[in-house]
Structure 1
Amino acid sequence: MPESLQEAIDRTGSPVTLLRNSPARPHVFPVTAEFSNWRSEQHSWRTSCALLDQSHHMTDLFLRGPDAERLLSELAVNSFANFPVDRAKQFVAVDHRGRLIGDAILAHLDTDHYDLVGHPMVIDWAQFHAETGGFDVEFERDDNSIVRRGDPALFRYELQGPTAVAIVEKLIGGPVPKIGFFHMGRFPIAGLEVRAIRHGMAGQPGYELFGPWADGERVRDALLEAGAEFGLTPVGAKGYSTANLESGWVPSPVPAIFTGDEMRAYREWLPAARAGSLGGSFDSGAIEDYYLTPYELDYGRSVAFDHDFVGRGALEAMSEASHRRKVTLVWNPDDVEAAMGSLMRPGVPAKYLDLPKARYALYQVDRVLQGDATVGQSFDCGYIANEQSFVSLAALDPAVAEVGQEVTVLWGEEPNSAKLQVEPHRQVPIRATVAPAPFVQFARESYRAA
């Protein structure tokens, strides 16, 4: 039997120790890194249209049965009062104390048939309850291509950018049917019926097209042919991994699963190999200090107290309180340049800043300071060619979360952890300026408003 998460915590004595020194290999998107170059590929979703292959890096959990909706409703902060077939939503789950486990996309495919897709944190939580909760539900899990043997169940292609609508209109031979945000439709493409979710991951207009894996190559060929005159650009893993920095989505907050008696049975069920890794300069020995609430990542708009769900009482108690606010931090270019340049100078360099994404652990948590005071945490970080800026997403105390405030991100670990991604380095302070999240104006005014 593989070691469980609870056994691994007992062995190491601390969740923080376990995660900081995780032997997990660096995480990569299992698709082509670059088709041209990641800078031009980033530009494509702003100037023409990007084609992003989402078929390989996410995990699907297909749920069927009369209790499928009840299971999902009891785990989600979201309302299910108006969630018919051909609708999708961002599914947000918390622990019994209202702290975030994670989020995923939930698609209502057919009567009593759902697809929960995203990073494994929420998928594992839902599967645990499907197996152990006494629900009349069947499930099928389709892991990402890093761990799965064989082909995915579905192809999933994202079209996003100003010419996305024109490409779809050419493919279907007429005007695109009006589909609301996170609503689903069906398009005739290359003689096939292809399902589409209306949304956009980088804050640009777009569609997520999906269907049986066997149809994927035929659909992709049709997309590339129709999109040629509209600047359709295949985007590889490097470029795609940065799209969230523009739209303001934090992909992997530390899930609130490592403590609490209520979560012990889950930790005994979950393989330790799926625990993840922790990096960054935030250095508390208490894993609870890394947990977040939905309100701190701007998910308060999704919390609905019209149904019973795990953590409802805790979220009700904290709903009126003041919370840290999600922001974008724009890193000072001189300080970023100095950190990168330290590789060329004698002495111990700063922690390597990879481009375009510099996150070096599944859970990246860096300390944010104003003066000597800790005022928040910085998460995913990287370079946006469209803005010529190095940025991170962060949760800051309300008093310092106003646009234009000056803060400092402490970059690097002290002491250096034993993760494979960590080389000998020294910590360096990097000045940063508070900006909105989402950072891009189009995303703030159009994408988020929808």
Structure 2
Amino acid sequence: MSETLERAIARAGGAVPLLRNTDFPAFIFPIQLEFTNWRDEERSWRESVALMDLSQHMNNLFIEGTDALALLSSLAVNTFSGFRVDIAKQLVAVNHDGYVIGDGILFYLAENSFDLVGQHSLIDWVRYNIEESSLDVRYRLDGHALTRSGDPEFFRYQLQGPNALSLIEAVTGSPVPEVKFFHMTSFRIAGRTVRALRHGMAGQPGFELFGPFGDAQVVREALLEAGADFGIRAVGARAYSSTPLEAGWIPTPVPAIFTDQLEPYRAWLPASRVGSLGGSFSPGAIEDYYFTPYDLGYSRNVKFDHEFIGRAALERLAEAPRRRKVTLVWEPADVSEILNSQLQPGTPAKFLEFPKARYAYHQYDTVLLQERPIGISTDVGYLVNDQVFVSLASIDADIADGTSVELIWGESPVTSKPQVEPHRQVVVRARVAPAPFDDFARSQYRDR
């Protein structure tokens, strides 16, 4: 029997030392690294059309039963008013104190039938609550490629970019129907029926296409063939890793599951399901790592029209949100100095990978304003389309866009994660900017 999370915490002497020293990669997209090169692949979702393959790296939790909707509503901050077949929503779950456990996309496939797509933090929480419930709810887990044997049940592709809708018209032979954001329709592609969600990971126009995995290759070849006239690029793992930075989505907050109330959950959860924690932010209390939905830019998701775990706490937190989500644009000279340190004698700064520099599953770096801590920097990397090095951050709500801040890059002391080499901490200057950073993704994406 695998070690439970509760036992692992006791063995490590606490949740923080366990997570900071565990061997868990930042994130793995088990597809080809590059099809052309990651720079051109990133440009395609702004300049032409990108084909992204999400089939292998996400978990699918298929949920059925007459009480499925009621159970999901009890776990979600979202409203379920008006939720019906052929609509999806970004489901956000919090603990009893109002702190985020995880988020994912919930597809309403058919009457009493749903597909929850996301990372393990949310998926495991929902599985546990289904197993503990006496309601008429059942689930079937189709895990990601590293935990699953064989092919997934669904292929999942995303078409994004200014030419995405023209490509859909070309490959289907029909005009693209009017579909609202996060609503679904169906297309016929190469003789196969493909379901389509009006959505995209990089904040650009497009659809998420899915269907039986047996149709994956035929549909992919049809898209690539028709897409040749529209400048299509297949996107590999390296470029795809940058999509959260483009979309302004903080992908892996530390799940707020280390409370006394959730001890039974930790006794159920295998320790292997918890990710690594890295970065310069290193308080002793695990609670300091938690985010509220407001800290992550999810204000629009929170609706108090139903009962759910954490509602009372969120009603209090809503009165004065403490942080807001932003983009930090790193000072180019400081980025250059980090890179230059790798070519100089002595201990270098923590290595910066391109296009994504995150080296832990949960990346948490300290943000300062005049030496005063004001928040946490998370996902970090390079945006080819804007030629800037950035990170997504949650900082004090009163810090205005344009403010000059600093963040600490690197760990002290250096933890024992194998992804972390000997290095020294450095201070990086940065400018506060909106999230998403791209004006189209921020102001027009949902309207399209």
Q: Which TM-score applies when normalising by structure 2?
A: 0.99
Q: Contact conserved, 2:350 with 2:410, CA < 8 A, in 1? A: yes
**Counterpart-to-counterpart distance in 2, 1:190 and 1:409:** 50
Q: Report the secondary structure of 1:374's partner residue.
A: strand
* Match in the other structure for 1:297: 296
Contact 2:66 2:112 in 1 (8 A): yes
Q: CA deviation at 1:293?
A: 0.1
Match of 2:133 in 1: 133
Please give the secondary structure, in 2, of the residue aligned with 1:317.
helix
Deviation at 1:71, TM superposition (A): 1.1
- CA distance, structure 2, for counterparts of residue 359 and residue 406 of structure 1: 22
Q: Contact 2:26–2:362 (CA<8 Å) still a contact in 1?
A: no
> Deviation of residue 25 (structure 1)?
4.4
What residue in structure 1 maps to residue 413 of structure 2?
415
String of CA shifts for 1:23-53, please: whole Å, max 9, x gaps: 2345321011111111110000000000000
Residue by residue, what CA displacement relative to the aligned partner does 1:45-98 show, whole Å, maximum 9, x if unpaired?
000000000000100100011011011100000000110100001000000100
User: Would you say the 8 A contact 1:202–1:244 is kept in 2?
Assistant: yes
| Post-superposition offset of 1:351 | 0.3
Q: How far has the Cα of 1:230 moved from its partner?
A: 0.2
Q: CA contact under 8 A between 2:26 and 2:358: conserved in structure 1?
A: no
Change (3 A) 1:336 1:51: same
Letter aligned with residue 254 of structure 1 = V
Query: Unaligned 5+ residue runs, structure 1?
Result: none
**2:189 and 2:222 in contact (8 A); partners too:** yes
Counterpart position of 1:427: 425
The residue that corresponds to 1:363 in the other structure is: 362
Gaps of at least 5 residues in structure 2 are none
Structure 2 CA distance for aligned equivalents of residues 248 and 107 of structure 1: 22
Which residue type is aligned with residue 298 of structure 2? Y
Local SS of the residue matching 1:321: coil
Query: RMSD across aligned C-alpha pairs, in angstroms?
Result: 0.9
Q: Is the 8 A contact 1:25 1:420 kept in 2?
A: no
Aligned match of 2:194? 194
TM-fit CA distance, 1:449: 5.3
Partner of residue 172, structure 1: 172
Report the Cα distance in structure 2 between the residues aligned to 1:25 and 1:103, rounded to whole angstroms: 20
Name the amino acid aligned to 1:246.
Answer: E
1:323-355 CA distance string (max 9 Å, x none): 211100000000001001100000000000011
AA in 2 matched with 1:208: E
Contact 2:161 2:205 (8 Å CA) reproduced: yes
Q: Report % sequence identity.
A: 56
* Aligned twin of 1:257: 257
CA displacement at 1:448 relative to structure 2: 4.6
Tell me by how many angstroms 1:163 deviates. 0.3
CA contact (8 A) 1:26 1:420 kept: no
* Superposition deviation, residue 203 in structure 1: 1.0
Residue pair 2:322, 2:397 contacting (<8 A) in 1 also: yes
Q: Which one-letter code corresponds to 2:140 in the other structure?
A: E
Match of 1:112 in 2: 112
Instruction: Indicate conservation of the 8 Å contact 2:25/2:276, yes or no.
Output: no
Query: Which stretch of the first structure deviates more once superposed, 166-175 or 378-387?
Result: 166-175
Shift of 1:276: 0.6
Structure 1's 86 and 124: CA in aligned 2 closer, same or farther, altered over 3 A?
same
Residue correspondence of structure 1 range 6-405 to structure 2 within 5 A: 6-25=6-25, 27-258=27-258, 260-400=259-399, 402-405=400-403
Q: Secondary structure at 1:39's aligned position in 2?
A: helix
Q: 1: distance between equivalents of 2:321 and 2:80?
A: 27
Amino acid at match of 2:350: K
Tell me how far 1:147 sits from its aligned partner. Answer: 1.4
Give the SS at the match of 1:27.
Answer: coil
CA contact (8 A) 1:20 1:278 kept: yes
Whether the aligned pair in 1 keeps the contact of 2:294 and 2:321 (CA below 8 Å) is no
CA distance in 1, matches of 2:208, 2:59: 16
Aligned residues: 448
- Shifted more, 90-99 versus 16-25: the winner is 16-25
Q: 2:363 and 2:439 mapped to 1: Cα distance?
A: 25
Distance 1:127 1:96 in 2: 17
Pick closer, same or farther for the CA change 1:437–1:448 going to 2, 3 Å: farther
CA distance in 2, matches of 1:249, 1:23: 24
